Amino acid sequence: MSTDAIVLLKNDHKEVRQLFAAFEQAGDNARAKKGKLVDRIIELLTVHTYIENEVMYPRVREMLPDLEDDVLESYEEHHVADVLVAELASMKPTDERFTAKTTVLIENVRHHMKEECLKILLRGFVSHYLSLDFSGSSLNSDVLRT
Ligand SMILES: [Fe+2]
Ligand SMILES: [Fe+2]
């Protein structure tokens, strides 16, 4: 896991948060705008989650075996997001449950990104580059909290 990869993932989180905020601020009748925002959210989350599932999480599992439970929980959170994303991809912004489903996706992904940054990204970064063992510690830093 390189610093470049961490920066890219962190930038994705930032963009996702901005898209979530824009969706929440869009008016009830701004259906076209909400549709475009959800299209971009789906695109971004699909690529981002794939990279984490296939590249980052396997590497973290190797480096930090004590994070196994957190990584497995994150895989399940990704799965829930994938299901919601797949359902949203086949919906229109005019569908009755479009905003409700997007809102649930936003709530789930916000929770997930917060936990992922603090428990997985930060410790993976620190452990890999400083070769330090932070087993059992609860780090709390602004470094990756975006
Ligand atoms: Fe994730
Ligand atoms: Fe992420």
Q: What is the pLDDT along the chain (146 residues), one digit of tens a residue?
A: 556 777 888 899 999 999 999 999 998 889 999 999 999 999 999 999 999 999 889 988 888 888 899 999 999 999 999 999 999 999 999 999 999 999 999 999 999 999 998 888 777 666 665 544 444 443 434 444 44
**What is the 79 CA–ligand 1 centroid distance (Å)?**
10
Asked whether residue 84 is assigned to any structural domain, the reply reads yes
**What is the 16 CA–ligand 1 centroid distance (Å)?**
11
Asked whether residue 98 is assigned to any structural domain, the reply reads yes
Question: What integer pLDDT is reported at residue 5 of this predicted model?
Answer: 76
Asked whether residue 95 is assigned to any structural domain, the reply reads yes
Contacts of 106 (CB under 8 A, 6+ apart): 20, 23, 24
Question: What integer pLDDT is reported at residue 127 of this predicted model?
Answer: 65
Question: What integer pLDDT is reported at residue 1 of this predicted model?
Answer: 54
Question: What integer pLDDT is reported at residue 4 of this predicted model?
Answer: 73
Asked whether residue 85 is assigned to any structural domain, the reply reads yes
Asked whether residue 73 is assigned to any structural domain, the reply reads yes
Ligand nearest to the CA of 82: 1
Asked whether residue 54 is assigned to any structural domain, the reply reads yes
Handedness of CA 11, 15, 21, 24 (dihedral sign): negative
Asked whether residue 72 is assigned to any structural domain, the reply reads yes
- The tally of domains found in the chain comes to 1
Q: What residue numbers bound the domain in which 95 lies?
A: 3-130
Asked whether residue 20 is assigned to any structural domain, the reply reads yes
**What is the 33 CA–ligand 2 centroid distance (Å)?**
25
Question: What integer pLDDT is reported at residue 121 of this predicted model?
Answer: 76
